[in-house]
Amino acid sequence: MADQIPHNKKKILQKREEMFMKRIVKEKMLGRYEIYLRNEEKSKATISKYLCDLRKLISYANDREVTKELVHHCINIRVILVWK
């Protein structure tokens, strides 16, 4: 079945799989997350805060895999910047 998929679509599918496996977060994913939060009956303020924090993480990650170490480093940088 995979042989029937055009070459360019194979590349797209492979890229999506790599993103999923590597935990790369993209801006376009936030819409689904926002819907999920609304379905969970989170407040508007909570949703706004979560999405804001994720946008900052996306910007910091810059297409890198989101790992525990990257998140800790991002948090440490934010703490340092707040203290200045």
Q: Which sequence spans correspond to the domains of the chain?
A: 24-83
The residues, any chain, with a CB within 8 Å of residue 18's CB and separated by 6 or more, are: 24
Closest to 22 measured CA to CA, from 57, 64, 50: 64
Q: What is the pLDDT of residue 37?
A: 95
Closest CA to 74 of 31, 84, 64: 64
Q: What are 55-72's pLDDT values in tens digits? A: 888 888 888 888 888 888
Distance between CA atoms of residues 14 and 20, nearest Å: 10
**Has residue 84 got a pLDDT over 50?**
no
- CB 37 within 8 Å of CB 47: yes
